[in-house]
Amino acid sequence: MTINDVQTILKATVVTQSLYENNEVLSGFVGDLLSVVMGKAKEQCAWITIQGHINIIAVGTLINVGCIIVTEGFKVDEDAIKKANEEDIVIMTTQLSSYEAAALLSRDGLE
């Protein structure tokens, strides 16, 4: 599944500037505790979280995240967006819950 597909499926709003259309995500991961994400999330995953602060970029970079999906309408901090643009990380936001977002991506075939 491409990041573009993820955005379309979730009708999410991309808040970063990095180009992403054909970049692939290989799996999904839901987690708000950063250590758990670092310990368990796979490379190039679509990471679903309610955290919107700058440390998600550090974690995203360390795990080579595919994209970050911030759910429940949580705002992404300005400094996080700036950092994401520097690190070429894609962040999108949605009003959906983490469960709903995961269910939609799973239904369309994301592991």
Partner 1 sequence: MNLHFDVEGGEFISAGVASSKVKKVLKQLAIQPEIIRKISVAMYEAEINMVIHAHGGVIDAEIMPDHVHVVLKDEGPGIENIELAMKAGYSTASRLAREMGFGAGMGLANMKRYADILQIESEPGKGTTVEITVKLYPEQA
Interaction site with partner 1 (CB under 8 A): 32-36, 38-39, 43, 49, 51, 53-56, 58-59, 61-64, 79
| Shortest Cβ 25–partner 1 spacing (Å) | 16
**84 class by beta-carbon count within 10 Å (0-12 exposed, 13-18 middle, 19+ buried):** buried
Nearer CB in complex with partner 1: 79/111: 79
Name which of 4, 24, 16, 2 is nearest 93 in CA terms: 16
| Shortest Cβ 86–partner 1 spacing (Å) | 10
Name which of 76, 23, 19 is nearest 53 in CA terms: 76
Nearer CB in complex with partner 1: 63/102: 63
